[in-house]
Amino acid sequence: MDVAEKQAWVALFSAEGLDRTVAKRALYRHTLAEGALLSACEPEALGTLMPELDAAQRKCWAAALGQQASMHQRTAAWAREGIEVLLRSDPLYPENLVRRESEAWLPYLLFYRGNLELLEQPGVYVTGSGSPTAPALDFLSDLAGQVATLELVSLGMYAQGVDREFSRAATQRQGPTALMLPLGLGHAGAIHREGLPALQQSQRLELSPVMPEVAHSPALLRACRRLLTGLAEVLVVVEDERPEDWPGLPEMVRDGGLVLVYAGQSASAAAWAAQGATLVSDASTAAQRMAEHASLHEDADTETPPEAESDREDATPIQFESADSAIARLSQTGRVPPALARRLREAENSGTLGQKD
């Protein structure tokens, strides 16, 4: 994504008085639906280009767009710390989130450090009690070993308890991990240093939905739980009592996500089952369920629709210059399966993208 475009979005979402709901609606139409660039907007043309904006918001946008040049130092300082920004309009923006959440709720800026390609692999979000019992800790250790044998990225937000214990166990077993942190990456120095070896091996990704200078808050904790649930193909909940208040759970279940629950001594088993969860008592069973779920989704992703089969001989092939352009084009017609996105990038890296068999 163009550096100037990133600076324009950062300037806009840093603007005081910005109506974010209106801004997202206008940006979606202008940049995603119409394929235009925010950085190319002239402030005096906002009335024509952005009819969604009232006079107060046009003034706010004009002031923000006038600050684009000053964003260079800010984004350069982030880059020196390894922090980059992913825009909602970027082809790499997580497709699971787009499919499961409304545009008004999605973070239009995601800050990250590490291997962004981990978002293209299916993820398992393991979370739960802030004070897990000894049997639960044994379950987590065993599960980390099982997950390391599957093509799954371990997701978490490094919250105290189950979340942190599993993230550490997954890292120790050299499995890929992706964290959605409930604070700005500028405040995540200790977490970053702990995961630096994995980061250097491209086995780690640190994400945040807020500007790097923003501090931790309870509201961010809940928002990140919802984001991780939206990202995950599999949710594993360990000794948690609150299925009815889990953000993003209904959307995940409706989308075909797998929910596994290790209840332990908790009395919440029936409540979780009512929410569509499968109860498990050991890590081997949980891993088997994950493998079965992944196999079903892989088959669905690679299945050829009957109408496509009948039209294949007459179809004109489309040539793409890059994996990003192919993914962007395919996303206009529906879901781009993570496995397909991964294969496109592998083809680009090997120089075989666009070649005939």
Place of tokens 């499961």: 100
How far from each other are the two terminal CA atoms of the chain, in whole angstroms?
A: 31
How many Cβ atoms sit within 10 Å of the Cβ of residue 320? 18
pLDDT-based confidence at 244, cuts 50/70/90?
A: confident
- Please name which of 135, 133, 137, 174 lies closest in space to residue 153, comparing C-alpha atoms: 174
- List, for residues 120-168, the tens digit of each pLDDT value: 999 999 999 999 999 999 999 999 999 989 989 999 999 999 999 999 9
Contact of 236 with 245, CB cutoff 8 Å: no
- Please name which of 134, 128, 176, 173 lies closest in space to residue 151, comparing C-alpha atoms: 176
Whether residue 103 has pLDDT greater than 60: yes
Handedness of CA 315, 317, 323, 329 (dihedral sign): negative
C-alpha 93/C-alpha 253 separation (Å) is 21
C-alpha 347/C-alpha 135 separation (Å) is 44
* CA-CA-CA-CA dihedral for 328, 330, 335, 338, to nearest 10: -70
Any idea what DSSP says for residue 29? I
- Planar angle of CA 28, 33, 34, nearest 5 degrees: 110
Burial of 241 (0-12, 13-18, 19+ CB in 10 A): middle
Whether residue 199 has pLDDT greater than 80: yes
Burial of 280 (0-12, 13-18, 19+ CB in 10 A): buried
Whether residue 317 has pLDDT greater than 80: no
At residue 332, the pLDDT reads 54
Phi, psi of 24 (to 5 degrees): -65, -40
Q: What DSSP line would sit under 259-326, residue for residue? A: EEEE-TT-S-HHHHHHTT-EE-SSHHHHHHHHHHHHHHHHHHHHPPPHHHHHHGGGPPPPP-SSHHHH
Percent of the chain with pLDDT over 90: 69
- Please name which of 61, 83, 39, 100 lies closest in space to residue 229, comparing C-alpha atoms: 100
Mean pLDDT of 74-90: 95
- List, for residues 7-57, the tens digit of each pLDDT value: 999 999 999 999 999 999 999 999 999 999 999 999 899 989 999 999 999
Higher pLDDT, residue 87 or 240:
87
Q: What DSSP line would sit under 169-213, residue for residue? A: HHHHTT--EEEE-SS-GGG-HHHHHHTHHHHHTT-EEEEESS-TT
Contact of 232 with 155, CB cutoff 8 Å: yes
C-alpha 184/C-alpha 186 separation (Å) is 5
- List, for residues 296-308, the tens digit of each pLDDT value: 666 555 444 444 4
- Please name which of 293, 295, 220, 216 lies closest in space to residue 252, comparing C-alpha atoms: 293
pTM for the model stands at: 0.82
Strand partners, 180: 207
